[in-house]
């Protein structure tokens, strides 16, 4: 007699997944963009303070 556990799909099986490429690519892209935002904010503040070349 099959157990209830076998009849019901496990939680892992029901979890939504993106295709493998996007599972890996999305967090990498988000990380790079988050870093780019931080860099741009630093640059913008530097320009505002006149610390950047050509900003004077």
Q: Which is nearer to another protein, 8 or 33 (CB)?
A: 33
Instruction: Name the residue nearer to another protein (CB basis): 5 or 21.
Output: 21
d(CA 36, CA 39): 5
Burial level of 1, CB count in 10 A (0-12/13-18/19+)? exposed
User: Is residue 51 a contact point for another protein (CB under 8 A)?
Assistant: no
49 DSSP 8-state letter:
T
Contact residues: another protein, CB under 8 A: 15-19, 22, 26-27, 29-30, 33-34, 36-37, 40-41, 43-45, 47-48, 52-56
């Amino acid at each position: 007699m099959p157990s209830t556990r076998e009849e019901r799909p496990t939680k892992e099986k029901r979890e939504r997944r993106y295709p493998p490429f996007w599972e890996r690519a999305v967090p990498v892209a988000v990380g790079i963009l988050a870093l780019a935002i931080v860099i741009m904010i630093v640059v913008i503040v530097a320009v505002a303070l006149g610390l950047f070349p050509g900003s004077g």
